[in-house]
Amino acid sequence: MKKIILLVAILATVWLMPLAAQGPVKFIDSDTLQKVKAELLQKYGESEKFRIERGVSQVADLWRATDGSIKEFTAFCSENFVADGAALEAFFKKLEFYSEALGGHFNEMSLDKDQPVDLDWGEITPIDIAMNGYNPAAHVSEDLFQSKLAFISLLNFPVYSLQEKDGLGVNWNRRQWAYARMGGSNTTRLPAEVNQKISAKMAAAGRYISEYNIYMGSLLDPNLNTMFPADMKLLSHWGLRDELKACYADKQGGLVRQHAIYRVMERIIRQEIPEVMINSGRFQWNPFSNYVYDQGKPVETVPEPDTRYKIFLDTFQAMRLVDPYSPLYPDHIRRSFDVNREIPEKEVEAMFHQLLTSPQVRKVAALIRQRLGRKLQPFDIWYPGLRTGSSVPEEELDKIVREKYPDAAAFEKDLPDILIRFGFSPERAAYISSKIQVDAARGSGHNAQAQSKKFKSRLRTRIPAGGMNYKGFNIALHEFGHAVENVLDLYLIDYYSLAGVPNNAFTEAFAFIFQERDLEILGIPEIDPRQKELKVLDTFWNAYEIMGVSLVDMKAWHWLYDHPQATPAQLREAVVAIAREIWNQYFAPFFGKRDQVILAVYSHMIDYTLYLPHYALGNVIQFQLEDYLRDKVLGPEMERMCLAGNIMPQQWMKNAVGSEISVRPMLKAVDRALKIANK
């Protein structure tokens, strides 16, 4: 997740816009506003006109009657405006210090208190649930406004619109960018009770997803035979998807197991899954017929009661709580793209459409059909064989990984050596690794990024009893990529305000780059000299899949805003219909089957609000970074790229690889790779 400047970005600002009718009423009248601006302009001169005009307006837009009288507002502006130059720079450094102090400690407090839920610490108890939903920073925003600290920042650092940052940012130096980020791009002043409600809803969603396991040893084929190891427990959707991908290596029973997993996914999406089969191995289940058995005898069961979509609705309603306090970006969709990604939704959608409708899709689909020797099945959206993989069976890979990493401590100990393999110097590898803590996760894994140089980045990955397996190692490397990015652009950055990357798609790109090198890190050589060329086909197919998934997520949010009073059942029907629509438009022409719903399986839709487009953009960015890195060493190049920090996405990309974010380079590379693959 991106680092947050607590003093401003969480604190929130509204720039040049009154609060919506259902929010607090604007208190400062226009006459007072103009009078204060005129007095400051006379005192500080024309050179400060822009900062005075915008800063005073920013304070006035958020000043309430409870913050002070008109006279007190006037005195506040007069006493707290700081002229540009040495005084403003010193003031800025103080704000950065306070932001890191508050943001870092509150973030660490939340990570510490949530360990019983996030980590594999056994049963989650009622007090764990209650504490998980508690947000210790809920009151900080309002406290800082009431104490006037937030207003001091607002008065002195302008908030820029997306269009302004796009136009002006190319000519800003590092300090100007840092000042702009201190101004913040968030546009809310949330009451403490709203912050707390949002935290509780999002925490509940996270718990629901992290506990959604399928006991694979309980699954039965159409002949009522078991298909998977008795002790296999897979998290939806990550574990199910990765096991389905692993089944391609089994030429005998792999296909029937893939069909079984696919049916499980469909049952989850449609909420037809028997409730007793979620996170339990008590009964046996035939996902094809949807019958449940107890020692061979059929038993009556009920499906999960639309819980998946109730949780989805809860997260939507949580984000809607922000809307009245964000008139500049009055819905979560616009905040997600214009504020959090700083790339307009239409621009992102156009990029996805360009790839999804490209002639390269048909060509790559034909190559997959040729390699499989059969018609494509819907689950072939996850086909992993477009590049030559390891000659080592996954069972052997599991054994190698288990012996190497029996627990989290063993993986943490090996982090410096992994970084050296990635091209970091021994000194830099040791430094970065010292800032990362590895924990055994309850869910699939994630990286909880530090927000202060006093604390470590927390790499969480699932480690089953007996040691890490190959799938877990693959995910752990993904999270390691997040953690290394976090360390580089927090500990080594020139301005704390610029800590991080432009948006989460960039940190996902680095995570993908690390993840792609899993066999290399295990010391297993590539067996095909064409591997580097062919890898682009795999990246392209991954992008094709996740872009379809992302469009489902995006359209579902538009539907929610059009139907804010929807029931869970209505949302279920809408998501299923949207998934079918996207499938029929972009996938059915090549798979030969219509009305598939598999694009709605991602758990991120439920507990990460509109996060999926980050993965799709991350695939595009990953390719461009990988293409640039082909003849270069990852370590020093990654450090150079990360130290650009949290500037505008396209500017960051130009600095990194010399060109803007685009699918065109990938499409051209696919054509080159296809010529090699077809030889």
pLDDT band per the 50, 70, 90 thresholds, residue 369: very high
Would the pLDDT of 426 be above 70? yes
SS3 for 614-679, per residue?
HHHHHHHHHHHHHHHHCCCCHHHHHHHHHCCCCCCHHHHHHHHHCCCCCCHHHHHHHHHHHHHHCC
The length of the chain, given as a count of residues: 679
Task: Collect all residues with Cβ–Cβ distance below 8 Å to 623 and sequence separation of at least 6.
Answer: 536, 539, 540, 543, 665, 666, 669
Residues 6+ apart with CB under 8 A from 49: 41
What is the token pair recorded at 73? 């507002």
pTM over 0.95: no
- pLDDT exceeds 80 at position 505: yes
The predicted model gives 412-435 an average pLDDT of 98
pLDDT 10s digits, 5-50: 334 333 333 333 333 334 556 799 999 999 999 999 999 999 999 9
Whole-number pLDDT of residue 393: 82
pLDDT of residue 21: 33
Q: Once rounded to an integer, what is the mean pLDDT over residues 534-558? A: 96
- Residues 501-530 have a mean pLDDT of 88
pLDDT (0 to 100) of residue 190? 84
Strands 457-461 and 436-440: parallel
Phi, psi of 308 (to 5 degrees): -55, -45
Instruction: Calculate the average pLDDT of the chain.
Output: 91
pLDDT at 24: 58
Give the whole-number percent of the chain exceeding pLDDT 90. Answer: 78
DSSP character at residue 441: B
**Averaged pLDDT for residues 326-343:** 91
Higher pLDDT, 328 or 170: 170
Between 350 and 13, residue with greater pLDDT: 350
**What is the band of 556 on the pLDDT scale with cuts at 50, 70, 90?**
very high
Give residue 104's pLDDT.
93
Residue 436 pLDDT: 97
Give the confidence band of 391 by pLDDT, cuts at 50, 70, 90: low
pLDDT, residue 200, reads 92
Mean pLDDT confidence for 363-374? 96
